[in-house]
Structure 1
Amino acid sequence: MRNEHLTPVQLKFFDKILNEIDIGIHAVNHEGKTMIYNRKMAEIEGMKFEDVLDKDLLDVFSFHKNEYSTLIKALTKGETIINAKQTYFNNRGQEITTINNTFPIVEEEDRIGAIEIARDVTKLEKLIRENMNKQSDTRYTFDSIIGSSNEIKDVIEASKRATRTNSSILIIGDTGTGKELFAQSIHNGSIRSAKPFISQNCAALPDSLIEGLLFGTKKGAFTGAIERPGLFEQAEGGTLLLDEINSLNPALQAKLLRSIQEKTVRRIGDTKDRKIDVRIIATINEDPIDAISEGRLRKDLYYRLSVVSLFIPPLRERKKDISDLIQFFIEKYNQLFGMMVKAVDEKVLNSFKQYEWPGNVRELEHVIEGAMNLIEYENTISYSHLPIHFRNKHQFKADNQNQPVTNENSSDIKPLNQYMEEIESNYLQKVLTYHHNNITKAAKSLGMSRQNLQYRLKKTRQSTNLERAKTED
């Protein structure tokens, strides 16, 4: 901020007001150099004050080809620009989208500068693009659901029956059980499959954004508001998946209930109801009765959504499917990584079947992916390949430590020093990989000198080569 004509007291008041208001303020002088730049504008643009103040605006920010700065246009042409959306880039190449009101500043018929009042819609624009892209991202069908247990078969059959109607569906299941996989399968198996499928995680956005995103906005409804259809209108004829519906506040749940019941939607700031033809599938990651009793889910919305209720069993209740899931994920990452892993060894499989899997199928996939990142030349995943954070879990660690030694696995017993060297070698290699083979960074994270790490690496490699030579002999 630069103003030599204000008294110190006036300047303090001016500075306080400017930096506490929740809108961006950016003003340039007649040369296009920044004179006023408040804290909110710095937040919107991801900039530091010293990088912008007293600098030529076009030296700091860049614009798409054939696009222009609204500030410079107001300065050079004397135009007042209202509710203009502008997308541009800061000096690090980060994209910014704002809704601007821009005015020239005139003194005795001379334009001495321009000022811009901006609201940030960068996050909203990104979310809208992501949701538009999701319309075609419906790759899952019932054939994608892995498992032969009676528990999962029952849910699949119930889901297939639900494809025949347009009733609302509530999918209930713990995090990581595959609720969206079922939602996409229902959509792709229904007569709506040729129409959009749009998914929105209700927990990912603050209330101020989710309402406009769901229901749309009318131009002029609030400062910076533009005419925009919401997700209900974008999903016309298709399916709208509302993930974690219990994350919406009660007021939004009431508005959602009205839209579902009346089959209409009203954009924010509008007085007109628009007819919609959308099937609603909602998911919840807790018992709905608990959510209702604790005020996270309206009872009337629950009854409206749960015309069809599907309960996805957690992995701990369908352990018969673990073998099938393991094989599926191994084949998936074989293709992605160009590997030829065949299976997990018997000890790991038995431990997997004893483990409770709090993260469900998603956790199992991450463990298999992590293990395949640690494999070198082996074609079987063993306990030593499992991610270290997973091996250190109390339950899994206990399962492996308490497993009795039998004739079948007695050949796995090694001298303690050899076993410890192998563990050290695997861990050092993992740390190196994490730091992209940068010895200095790896040594620092391990709390040792660079020379010490190099010595240990050399020692473990020599030991490994010696063991291989003995085997070959």
Structure 2
Amino acid sequence: MKQLYEEIIERVGVGIHAVDGDGKTIIYNKKMREMEAMNKEDVLHKDVRDVFQFQENQSSTLLKSLQHGEEIVNVKQTYFNNRGVEITTVNNTFPLKVDGDICAAVEIAADVTKMERLIRQNLRQTKTDFTFNHIIGKSSELKEVIALAKRATRTNSNVLIIGETGTGKELFAQSIHAESERSEAPFITQNCAALPDTLIEGILFGTTKGAFTGAIDSPGLFEQAQGGTILLDELNSLNIALQAKLLRLLQERKVRRIGDSKETSIDVRVIATINEDPIDAIANNRLRKDLYYRLAVVTLFIPPLRERNGDIPILIEEFIKKYNGLFKLNVKCVSEDVLQFFDSLSWPGNIRELEHVIEASMNLVNHEQVIEFDHLPYQYRKSEARRPIPHQVITEAPKNNENTGLTEQLALFEKRTIEQYLRAHKNHITNTALALNLSRQSLQYRMKRLNIQVPKT
């Protein structure tokens, strides 16, 4: 039976720590060792006061129960292990008596360290770092979205921001908050894909002591964001059941903590982001249709980088400036070869991918002032996009003219090449761009620069 009890104690999913009448550890199970990141020999048969450190004006709940003979229920305790790592638990502690005398104390603990850190992190994140001035680009597609976002700052309506990963959705969300009447109130962000359902529900809506093992009285993010804005990033990753609870909150403007019977009125603006077409998300049961309509009062579609190629040089300039300061370099620009290569890419990671490429390239720069193709990360240097472009043989070469310089000759050759490809593809812009290995926007830019006209049909 003794062996059986020891095996059960070792395998249960809560931490169990027991001390004898002198405060020395006599039971220290596997779950407790995992929670406190310590080995059995670090703790077993040692005085608790010699192993752990406690915050100012706090003491071990184990020792308190041992010394005063009191049962301590659902008490949160923060302390440090023998390496100074902070641990937060919710404890149920009680004394053990033999013939009326206290001979030991046992503690059953639930680990809430991760939740505590997340709550602290979100409480700190109450101010925005970005405004509309930080949004880089001059393309008409981007300007249109910025104009709509600025109009959204005048109201308190919910906002849904749709865009691929890396397009800068959070930057737009922060900018809307920063220029709204809520700018002095909290701005709190939560990535819905970052946490399991069991944890994110408590983070969003709050918990009540005793609602479940380890639950403590804790306000959720909606209560913390009172008067301000909450950003729910990657909303389509949130469990459908939690989306229903979120919908009810948006409709009634009230939140109920897990395990509580009362509701708290909230005044919070909700901005949500999704990284896919909402129609696809609804069709694949990743987004509730009624929640979509509730959130999409103002809808912003952030264009991917491949649809605003003209902004690439501006973004490159900003990223070079940023990493010059961080790396103490003096890079001026990228080479024409690199710029043309960038213009041919589809950029699935969008602006974030471009920034990472510039950062990685500048890590390979010594004293050069121009980023060359050889400075690019390996996967880009070996990219299939770098292969020679399959094309027709250009039969009409530019004529020699002693009065024409090299720049003019190259421009003339480029113009004639594009015109020949247009004729070969019956003036179809998209097909011509594909044949030239250019984006549609890049081809249109070159046609405008070279004054190439396409007959209207």
The verdict on a shared fold, with TM-score over 0.5 as the criterion, is yes
SS of the residue 2:272 aligns to: strand
2:176 equivalent to 1:197: no
Partner of 1:129: 120
Separation (CA, whole Å) in 1 of partners of 2:144 and 2:288: 28
Partner of 2:437: none
Partner of 1:247: 237
Separation (CA, whole Å) in 2 of partners of 1:68 and 1:383: 61
Please, which moves more after superposition, 377-386 or 200-209?
A: 377-386
Separation (CA, whole Å) in 2 of partners of 1:193 and 1:281: 14
Could you list the per-position Cα deviations for residues 204-258 of structure 1 after superposition, in whole angstroms to 9, with x for gaps in the alignment?
1111111111111122322332222111111111111000111111111000000
Shift of 1:313: 1.1
Could you list the per-position Cα deviations for residues 103-141 of structure 1 after superposition, in whole angstroms to 9, with x for gaps in the alignment?
1212123321111011111000100111011102x0111
Partner of 2:384: 395
Could you list the per-position Cα deviations for residues 374-425 of structure 1 after superposition, in whole angstroms to 9, with x for gaps in the alignment?
2111111112222234434x335437999xxxx99xxxxxxxxxxxxxxxxx
Task: Report matched runs for 1:39-118 at 5 Å.
Answer: 39-118=30-109
Could you list the per-position Cα deviations for residues 251-305 of structure 1 after superposition, in whole angstroms to 9, with x for gaps in the alignment?
1100000000111111111111111111100001111111111111111111111
Separation (CA, whole Å) in 2 of partners of 1:274 and 1:30: 46
Separation (CA, whole Å) in 2 of partners of 1:336 and 1:397: 30
The match for 2:135 among 115, 120, 145 is 145
Q: Any conservation in 1 of the 2:153–2:179 contact (CA below 8 Å)?
A: yes
The match for 1:343 among 330, 333, 336 is 333
Task: Report matched runs for 1:179-328 at 5 Å.
Answer: 179-328=169-318
User: One-letter code of the match for 2:180?
Assistant: S
* Total equivalences in the alignment: 393
Partner of 1:6: none
SS of the residue 1:135 aligns to: coil
The match for 1:165 among 149, 155, 163 is 155
SS of the residue 2:193 aligns to: helix
Separation (CA, whole Å) in 1 of partners of 2:351 and 2:390: 24
User: One-letter code of the match for 1:296?
Assistant: R
TM-score in terms of structure 2 length: 0.82
Unpaired runs of at least 5, structure 2: 392-405, 408-457
Percent same amino acid among aligned pairs? 63
Q: Any conservation in 2 of the 1:351–1:399 contact (CA below 8 Å)?
A: no
Q: Any conservation in 2 of the 1:63–1:88 contact (CA below 8 Å)?
A: yes
Q: Any conservation in 1 of the 2:341–2:386 contact (CA below 8 Å)?
A: no
SS of the residue 2:64 aligns to: helix
Q: Any conservation in 2 of the 1:98–1:121 contact (CA below 8 Å)?
A: yes
SS of the residue 1:171 aligns to: strand
Separation (CA, whole Å) in 2 of partners of 1:94 and 1:237: 35
Please, which moves more after superposition, 87-96 or 188-197?
A: 87-96
> Taking structure 1 as reference, are residues 398 and 52 closer, same or farther at Cα in structure 2, changes over 3 Å only?
farther
Unpaired runs of at least 5, structure 1: 1-9, 409-473
Partner of 1:21: 12
Shift of 1:173: 0.8
> Taking structure 1 as reference, are residues 71 and 158 closer, same or farther at Cα in structure 2, changes over 3 Å only?
same
Partner of 1:33: 24
Shift of 1:72: 1.8
